[in-house]
Chains A and B, each alone.
Chain A
Amino acid sequence: MDDYKYLFKVVLIGEAGVGKTCLVRRFTQGLFPPGQGATIGVDFMIKSVEVNGEKIKLQIWDTAGQERFRSITQSYYHSANALILVYDVCSQLSFDNIPHWIQEIEKYANTKVFSYLVGNKIDQINRREIPSHIGEQFAKRYEMKFIETSAKEAENVDALFYDIATELTKQAHQQALETDKGVNFKAHNTSTISSCSTCLRF
């Protein structure tokens, strides 16, 4: 086992054909394999990144977009540390379905899950149907982070995953701090009780 500070689960979701697998491949292997078949079930990749000198392992679950795999992909929401909801900037349909996906997130995922709205395929300049600001507004309304990417031209792909790693690391640090505080609080609490009982005795 190699050494790492944190392991985070990142789950990609979204309609079929928006480029989830391509984003993952681009990030993990630096490839853009054209003519990929549809993902069957769920794919699984691991990539380590460094955030402020700490080694972070990202466990990336690339889910199938097709309807018949929905009940399988839903099972991954709960344990996810971050969700990446992808749509295709050239497909109004994939964008129109986003509210439905957000419902799914609200239903199955942890309430505190860190989620990202990603508009993919921005290299297709002439075919774009969703302008940037529309996507951004949407993300804001649902308190998600927003970024536009091109898996084909490797634009913003690393930025997306690094931002997730950084944010999750920050959260983890904060949480560690809070549990420490919690312990302190508890200790403090018990001491008050004991001092109270001494008060009573005297």
Chain B
Amino acid sequence: MAASRSDATSLPTFDGVENLITMTDIQKAFDELCVEEESMNGELDNLLEHQTALENKMSGLHKILPNLQILETDSKQLSSMVSFTSTLAENVSSKVRQLDVAKSQVTACITRVEDILDLKFCTDGVQTALQNEDYEKATGHVHRFRSLDENILRMSEESGEGSTLDSSFRLLQEAEEKLKSIVNTKFDAAVHSGDFASIERFFKIFPLIGLHEEGLTKFGKFLSSQIAEKSRGNLMIAESVTHKDKNANVIYAETATQLFESIANIIEVRQPLIETYFGSGKLFSLMKILQKECDRQVRQILEKFKLKRDFDAVVQQVQQNAVFHRPSATEKFDPKVLDVLLSEVVLLNTRTELFLRFFRRRAVGDMESAYSNDDLKEKIKEIDKFISNCDLNRLMQELIGNYIMMEEFFMREMVLKAVSMDTVEESSHTSSMVDDSFYIVKKCVRRAVSSSSVDGICAMLNHASTVLEQDFREVLFSRVRAGFPSGFDLTQAYNMVQSSIQQGKLQSSDQEKAKTTFLVAMNNAEVSCEYCKSLKSNIEEEVLRSFSKSSEQSKAKLQSCVTDLGNVAVRLKEVVDFGVSQLRSSAIKPRIKPLTDAFLSTSHNISEDDFSNYEANDPWVQNYILQIDNMLATFKSALSTENYDTFVSQVTTEVTFQLEKAVLKTSFNRLGGLQFDKELRALVGYLSSVTTWTIRDKFARLTQMATILNLERVNELLDYWGPNSGPLTWRLTPTEVRNILSLRVDFRSEEIKKLKL
């Protein structure tokens, strides 16, 4: 490389030696040549330096050269060997493949031969088995035959054995037909003779000869006849039961229960048999047949039930009475009879629901082990549709429909009766209608709950709400609305109310009667409100317990109806509230007002002497407390605890309201303020002693007024005001504070104005 470059640079230089004319050109060429020489020398030195290394490498390469040749020949040899092996393997494997094909053909051939042998064996076996009446064996042969592929066997016909095969097939087909008819007739005969062992024996044969549905139908019919027979027997026994029997009142429900139990028992016992011989998913077919029989039998039981209990006549009477609403309706019925009848209807439905739930569970369970996903959903839908459309369900829906109508009638009539026979017991704040009515409502609703019919329960809950709101609450409300008469001689009137309640003397004057009626109605409403709440929570609990596994839809329905029943309590509370407002305007206000006015006539601008005189002879507060105490005492005995508390609270509110007004009309000096503070303490002390809750809050404004009226100087207020108020929350506005300060005759108005509040 270096050489070629030096060539390339030197050539043009030498070519042009002749052309170098000027000295400068020569000098320049010379310089260039010098530089070139210099670099060439460098390169040469460089190469010389590496000479030994290069020589080493060269000699190394020379040594390797012969090896490379050996490698090449070896490689060639290997390659030829590999390709040889490959061809060999190819040859071998193709032979193996051929062998494989041959082998499978041989196996198929053997199977076919075996099949043909089997066929012959079956043909012979079937005949002997049939002759020996060994139907299981015959079925086994036929079943084996049915599993053979006829067409494949037919292919060997050409090979000469066709005619015998043909006859074998014919024979076996004939045998199968024969077997089918034999099994059918034998099964029928066994059914006819009631030979259970044979029935079971032939029942197992049906699925083996492809008669699944037929077998189930026949078996179902047989079981149905058994059910029918047993149920008829039970019904006969039921008919002959005397009144003395402890089950006499529910004998038809019991008969139906026996029917359900016997069907459930059959399903329980036969399910494994069907699963084993027929496979899963077949049980429902049998259950459908059994249910049809169940429908028939229940219809008969219900017919007898209606006949014996005069059901239709009772229903008709109730219907008519409900339409025309005769007041004497209850007299026509013995409510006890209706009571008994309703209990039996409820029991009938309970048992039915229980049975249908069992039915669904079993049918669905069987389907679940046979199907999945969409198929299963479809099947479950089919089951649900079957159940909701079955006669049993329909009959029960009709029965429940009638039951609801009668139960509602019973409940309403009994509540009306309880209201009309209302009496006030001695030593009781309430009258008999409360306990009686709630007892009835609770009884009816609970009976409905025990029927397990969701719609039935909802309907009765609705009716209960309606009855309590209309027939019960309205009565209380009208009594309270009549008002609390405010008489002329109040003290006397109160005392008489008290004595009339205590002695049960209700035939006193009209006014006292009216007062008692009012107070008792108020108590009734208050107690009913509590009863209603507890009825709601009891029923709620009971319903939640018995329907925990029901659909969300059913639970939501029940919850909504239960909540509505609870809301009746709110409507009852309205009656109480109305009563309280009546009492306040006609009893509390007119009584407290004149009492409080006595405060106005007591001077609070007093001297030292007056103050000590007041100490000895109290000017008004003791009398005030005494009067209030009298009033509270009379009402305490007449009002329920809850209502009494409300009453005291109302009295307290009125006292504070009136007293505040009175204070603002009075003038005070320092001692007067002190006097007022004493009076207020006495009053608060007394009222606290008669209540269970704290009343100090109600007196907060008055207490603060007393504090202000008790100040030494105007500016002292600032010790309690604003940032200095500490835990005290002022209920008085700055304007009110100034007003109260100005009630003190000894405070100067400029000073009050100057206060920064």
Give the interface of A toward B (CB within 8 A). Answer: 37, 40-44, 59, 68-72, 74-76, 78-79, 186, 189-190, 193-194, 197-198, 201
Residue-by-residue, is B580-600 near A (CB-CB < 8 Å gives 1, otherwise 0)?
A: 010011100110011001000
Q: Which of B25-33, B227-235, B456-464, B530-538 contacts A (4 or more CB under 8 A)?
A: B456-464
Assess the B590–A75 pair: CB atoms within 8 A: no
A-B contacts, 16 of them at CB < 8 A, read A41-B454, A41-B458, A43-B553, A44-B557, A44-B560, A68-B398, A72-B455, A72-B456, A72-B458, A75-B408, A79-B462, A79-B564, A193-B585, A197-B590, A197-B593, A201-B597
> In the complex, what residue of chain A is closest to B469 when comparing beta carbons?
A78
Chain A residues whose C-beta falls within 8 Å of the C-beta of B463 in the assembled complex = 75
Q: Does B466 contact A (CB under 8 A)?
A: yes
User: A142–B593 Cα gap in the complex (Å)?
Assistant: 54
User: A72–B586 Cα gap in the complex (Å)?
Assistant: 45
User: A37–B381 Cα gap in the complex (Å)?
Assistant: 12
Assess the B465–A79 pair: CB atoms within 8 A: yes
Chain A residues whose C-beta falls within 8 Å of the C-beta of B3 in the assembled complex = none
Q: Does B556 contact A (CB under 8 A)?
A: yes
> In the complex, what residue of chain A is closest to B578 when comparing beta carbons?
A186
> In the complex, what residue of chain A is closest to B406 when comparing beta carbons?
A71
User: A71–B405 Cα gap in the complex (Å)?
Assistant: 6
Residue picked from B388, B408, B456, B560, most chain A C-beta under 10 Å:
B560
A75-B462 contact given A69-B397, A69-B455, CB 8 Å threshold: yes
User: A75–B405 Cα gap in the complex (Å)?
Assistant: 9
Residue picked from B458, B460, B470, most chain A C-beta under 10 Å:
B458
Assess the A42–B594 pair: CB atoms within 8 A: no
A71 is contacted by which of B401, B454, B560 (Cβ under 8 Å)? B401
User: A79–B593 Cα gap in the complex (Å)?
Assistant: 44
B465 is contacted by which of A71, A78, A190, A197 (Cβ under 8 Å)? A78
Residue-by-residue, is B388-428 near A (CB-CB < 8 Å gives 1, otherwise 0)?
A: 11000010011011101100100000000000000000000
Assess the A68–B585 pair: CB atoms within 8 A: no
Q: Which 9 A-B residue pairings sit nearest by Cβ, starting from the closest?
A: A41-B455, A75-B462, A75-B459, A71-B404, A71-B405, A72-B459, A78-B466, A190-B585, A68-B398
Chain A residues whose C-beta falls within 8 Å of the C-beta of B455 in the assembled complex = 40-42, 69, 72
Chain B residues whose C-beta falls within 8 Å of the C-beta of A69 in the assembled complex = 397, 401, 455
Q: Does B332 contact A (CB under 8 A)?
A: no
User: A46–B466 Cα gap in the complex (Å)?
Assistant: 22
User: A183–B27 Cα gap in the complex (Å)?
Assistant: 131
Q: Does B756 contact A (CB under 8 A)?
A: no
Chain A residues whose C-beta falls within 8 Å of the C-beta of B398 in the assembled complex = 68
Give how many B residues have a beta carbon under 8 Å from the other chain's beta carbons. 38
Q: Does B336 contact A (CB under 8 A)?
A: no
Chain B residues whose C-beta falls within 8 Å of the C-beta of A43 in the assembled complex = 553
Q: Does B385 contact A (CB under 8 A)?
A: yes
User: A40–B593 Cα gap in the complex (Å)?
Assistant: 63
User: A37–B556 Cα gap in the complex (Å)?
Assistant: 21
Assess the B466–A71 pair: CB atoms within 8 A: no
Chain B residues whose C-beta falls within 8 Å of the C-beta of A59 in the assembled complex = 560
User: A71–B466 Cα gap in the complex (Å)?
Assistant: 14
A40-B397 contact given A78-B465, A79-B465, A186-B581, CB 8 Å threshold: yes
Residue-by-residue, is B431-473 near A (CB-CB < 8 Å gives 1, otherwise 0)?
A: 0000000000000000000000011101110110110011000
Assess the A44–B405 pair: CB atoms within 8 A: no
> In the complex, what residue of chain B is closest to A76 when comparing beta carbons?
B462
User: A70–B404 Cα gap in the complex (Å)?
Assistant: 10
Shortest CB distance B80–A (Å):
79
Shortest CB distance B463–A (Å):
5
Chain A residues whose C-beta falls within 8 Å of the C-beta of B594 in the assembled complex = 197, 201
Assess the B401–A68 pair: CB atoms within 8 A: yes
User: A4–B460 Cα gap in the complex (Å)?
Assistant: 28
User: A37–B387 Cα gap in the complex (Å)?
Assistant: 13
B388 is contacted by which of A40, A42, A68, A190 (Cβ under 8 Å)? A40
> In the complex, what residue of chain A is closest to B461 when comparing beta carbons?
A75
Chain B residues whose C-beta falls within 8 Å of the C-beta of A201 in the assembled complex = 594, 597
User: A89–B584 Cα gap in the complex (Å)?
Assistant: 58
Residue picked from A59, A68, A76, most chain B C-beta under 10 Å:
A68
A42-B557 contact given A37-B385, A197-B593, A201-B594, CB 8 Å threshold: yes
Shortest CB distance A118–B (Å):
23
Assess the A194–B459 pair: CB atoms within 8 A: no
Assess the B557–A71 pair: CB atoms within 8 A: no
User: A189–B400 Cα gap in the complex (Å)?
Assistant: 51
User: A37–B382 Cα gap in the complex (Å)?
Assistant: 12
Chain A residues whose C-beta falls within 8 Å of the C-beta of B456 in the assembled complex = 72
Shortest CB distance A103–B (Å):
10
Residue picked from A44, A76, A186, A189, most chain B C-beta under 10 Å:
A44
Chain A residues whose C-beta falls within 8 Å of the C-beta of B401 in the assembled complex = 68-72
User: A71–B323 Cα gap in the complex (Å)?
Assistant: 13
> In the complex, what residue of chain A is closest to B464 when comparing beta carbons?
A75
Residue picked from A41, A69, A70, A201, most chain B C-beta under 10 Å:
A41
Assess the A71–B402 pair: CB atoms within 8 A: yes
Known A44-B560, A68-B401, A75-B463; further 8 A-B contacts with Cβ < 8 A: A37-B388, A40-B388, A44-B553, A69-B397, A75-B404, A186-B581, A190-B585, A193-B585
Residue-by-residue, is B550-588 near A (CB-CB < 8 Å gives 1, otherwise 0)?
A: 000100110010001000000000000000010011100
> In the complex, what residue of chain A is closest to B397 when comparing beta carbons?
A68
Shortest CB distance B588–A (Å):
10
> In the complex, what residue of chain A is closest to B396 when comparing beta carbons?
A68
Chain A residues whose C-beta falls within 8 Å of the C-beta of B560 in the assembled complex = 44, 59
Shortest CB distance B392–A (Å):
14
User: A59–B556 Cα gap in the complex (Å)?
Assistant: 11
Chain A residues whose C-beta falls within 8 Å of the C-beta of B585 in the assembled complex = 189-190, 193
